[in-house]
C-alpha cells in the first residue's frame, strides 16, 4: 500500500510541476503581450509627434487626413492588443487555479503518505516491543529454572 501511495505522490508532484510550468509560460505570455502593447502605444505617440512636427512646416489636408487615419488604425490595434492581453490574463489565471488545485492534491497525498508511514512505524515499534517483552519473559523463566 505504501509503495502505491509513494507512486501516487510522485505522479501528483510531477503533475504539479507541469502545472507550475504551464502557469509560468502563460504568465510570460501575458508579459510579452503587455510589452507589445507598450511598444505599440509608444510607436503611436512617436508617430503623432512626427505628424505634429511635419504639420508645423505645412501639409495638405489629404496628407494630414491620411496620417490621422493611420493613427485611428493604431488606436484600433491598441484596443485589439488590450483584448489579447485580457484573454492571455484569463488563461494565466486558469492555469494558476489548476496549479493551486494540483498543489492541494500533492499536499493531501503527502499527508496521507505521512500518516501511513507513521502507522507503519507504530506497528513496527509495537511488534518490536512485543518481541522484546517475549525475550524478557523467556529470560525471566529461564532464570527461575536455572539454579545459578
Q: Write phi, then psi, for 127 (nearest 5 degrees).
A: -65, -40
Per DSSP, which regions of 81-121 are E strands?
none
CATH class of 2-115: mainly alpha
DSSP code at position 148: -
pLDDT digits (tens, 9 = 90+) for 27-57: 999 999 999 999 999 999 999 998 888 877 7
Length of the chain, in residues: 148
pTM given for the model: 0.73
d(CA 91, CA 84): 11
Q: Which of 77, 4, 12, 88 is nearest to 40 (CA)?
A: 77
Domain edges within the chain: 2-115
Question: What is the separation of C-alpha 72 from the centre of its chain, rounded to a whole number of angstroms?
Answer: 39
d(CA 58, CA 47): 17
| Per-run averaged pLDDT (10 residues), the chain, 148 residues | 86 96 98 98 94 80 88 97 98 97 95 90 92 89 76
Cell digits for 85?
A: 492581453
Amino acid at each position: 500500500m505504501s509503495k502505491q501511495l509513494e507512486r501516487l505522490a510522485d505522479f501528483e508532484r510531477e503533475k504539479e510541476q507541469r502545472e507550475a510550468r504551464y502557469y509560468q509560460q502563460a504568465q510570460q505570455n501575458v508579459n510579452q503581450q503587455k510589452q507589445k502593447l507598450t511598444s505599440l502605444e509608444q510607436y503611436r505617440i512617436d508617430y503623432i509627434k512626427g505628424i505634429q512636427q511635419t504639420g508645423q512646416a505645412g501639409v495638405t489636408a489629404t496628407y494630414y487626413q491620411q496620417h490621422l487615419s493611420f493613427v485611428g488604425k493604431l488606436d484600433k490595434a491598441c484596443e485589439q492588443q488590450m483584448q489579447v492581453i485580457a484573454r492571455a490574463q484569463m488563461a494565466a489565471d486558469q492555469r494558476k487555479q489548476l496549479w493551486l488545485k494540483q498543489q492541494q492534491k500533492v499536499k493531501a497525498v503527502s499527508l496521507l503518505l505521512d500518516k501511513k508511514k507513521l502507522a507503519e512505524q507504530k506497528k513496527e515499534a509495537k511488534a518490536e516491543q512485543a518481541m522484546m517483552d517475549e525475550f524478557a519473559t523467556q529470560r525471566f523463566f529461564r532464570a527461575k529454572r536455572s539454579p545459578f
